[in-house]
Amino acid sequence: MGEILTWFLFNPLVLTLSLFLVGFFTGRIVVNWFVLPLVKRRSPVVVEALKKRRSPWMFSILVGILFASFMWIFVSQLLTSDLVRGIGNTTLSLLMMVYFCLWLISLLDSSHDVYMTRPMARQVPLYSYLQAVKTVVILVFLFVGMASLFHLDVAYIITLLGGSAAVISLVFKDPILSLVASLQVAANRMVSIGDWIEVPEFFANGKVLEINLTSVKLEGTDRAITTLPTYALISQSVKNWSATIQKKQRRFSRTIIIDINSIQLFDAEACSGLLQLPIADEIFNRRLQNREVGQPADFVPTTNLGLFLEYASAWMQRHPQVSQDLPAAAVQLPITASGLPVEVNAFLTEVNYPAYETLQSEILLHMLAVLPLFNLKVFQSPAGAGSN
């Protein structure tokens, strides 16, 4: 028994490992029994974020390495080999730097997780800044670790990197561009998490899931994930639909090409079917009353197309799902070889994908369905059986 105790007390490696375990379990007890319960009383979200990123575990290992380093300072004096002493010193130094770096990164990630629970996180995303800070932390510890491992001066390593800046900028061109772009996007609040954006050059259209230093992830309507470089947000044309969704006003615009041969002066007898449309009948009766009173504008002969344009505008203005704050109108465009284009414009209160598409289809189909009541025809190129 005495020999075992003597071997244990005078074996440097065993003593160092033993004190590492003492420090590790001491750190676990202090964190789990005192620190975390105290923090949990004020903010349970912080505790969950720390546990998710394993910050208490990293801290316990760091305390264990710190205890082992103090023990190694004394027990290394018992060693006669300078090689073993040097290996032990370097190993403990590297372990201390590695786990201290990992602990700092876990704290940064935990802070970001807590921030993401706040309402302002959507308007001001900080993930790009977080990645930039983590990159700086890793580079600093990498330089210090290389200097400690190879016994070099940190300034000498930085000088070597400065001399190879041209090669680094060429190899890491995209990450550097994306880094600058991500900082600009976050600072100017051009795009936020949850925005629906469209980037035609990349055929990307979807909801922003993530913005980091090198890439942006979008989720389309078919649940497919599209990834594009971050610098594309400032170098390419980007359409952001967030204002449309927030205000619940999305523009609807469709063009109907009218056959010119069907445009004629309005004939009440020929267009008797308009009595089925209360709005059209109301418009026509108002024109007749104004003409009897002697309104100058109403001496102009009424055409079936003019009456249709007035009907379409009035019908959309009375539609419950068309915004009343913005104009809704049907107007004619310059005549073409195919016919006379009529553009139907309105702002719909339905902005989400399925409901918006359904509503605009209903409006367009209604316009097409009432055209024959005005003795108007839609132009279409003859094809198939219709070409005979």
Q: 43 is written with which tokens?
A: 């903010």
User: d(Cα 215, Cα 146) in Å, to the nearest integer?
Assistant: 30
Residue 285 lies in a domain: yes
What b/e readout covers 297-324, taking b as 16+ CB neighbours within 10 angstroms? ebeeebebbbbbbbbbbbbbeebeebbe
Residue 228 near residue 144 (C-beta atoms within 8 A)? no
Q: What is the pLDDT of residues 253-288, one digit of tens each?
A: 999 999 999 888 877 666 666 767 778 777 777 766
> What mean pLDDT is reported for the chain?
79
Residue 217 near residue 324 (C-beta atoms within 8 A)? no
Q: What is the pLDDT of residues 15-42, one digit of tens each?
A: 677 777 777 788 888 888 888 888 888 8
What letter would DSSP give residue 209? E
Residue 385 lies in a domain: no
Per the structure, the complete domain to which residue 15 belongs is given by 1-117
Residue 387 lies in a domain: no
pLDDT at residue 370 is higher than 50: yes
pLDDT at 73: 74
Which of 240, 264, 285 is where one domain is finished?
240
> Domain with 198 in it: what CATH number?
2.30.30.60
Long-range pairs for 67-74 at CB < 8 Å and ≥24 separation?
67/19, 67/20, 67/22, 67/23, 67/24, 67/26, 68/16, 68/17, 68/19, 68/20, 68/23, 68/92, 69/96, 70/19, 71/15, 71/16, 71/19, 72/12, 72/16
Residue 69 lies in a domain: yes
Which of 240, 265, 287 is where one domain is finished?
240
How far is residue 266 from each of residues 90, 305, 312, measured CA to CA in Å? Answer: 97, 8, 16
User: d(Cα 244, Cα 186) in Å, to the nearest integer?
Assistant: 21
Whether residue 102 is found in the same domain as residue 135: no
Whether residue 209 is found in the same domain as residue 188: yes
Taking phi over 0 as left and psi of -120 to 50 as alpha, with beta for the rest, 339 belongs to left
Cβ neighbours around 74 below 10 Å, total? 11
Whether residue 139 is found in the same domain as residue 193: yes
Q: What is the pLDDT of residues 62-115, one digit of tens each?
A: 888 888 877 777 777 666 667 767 777 778 888 888 888 889 999 988 888 888
pTM: 0.56
Whether residue 285 is found in the same domain as residue 227: no
User: d(Cα 249, Cα 238) in Å, to the nearest integer?
Assistant: 19
φ and ψ of 375, to 5 deg:
60, 35
Whether residue 358 is found in the same domain as residue 309: yes
Whether residue 253 is found in the same domain as residue 373: yes
Q: 86 is written with which tokens?
A: 């040097």
Q: What is the pLDDT of residues 337-360, one digit of tens each?
A: 889 999 999 988 888 778 888 898
pLDDT at 332: 92
Pairing mode, strands 196-199 and 239-240: antiparallel
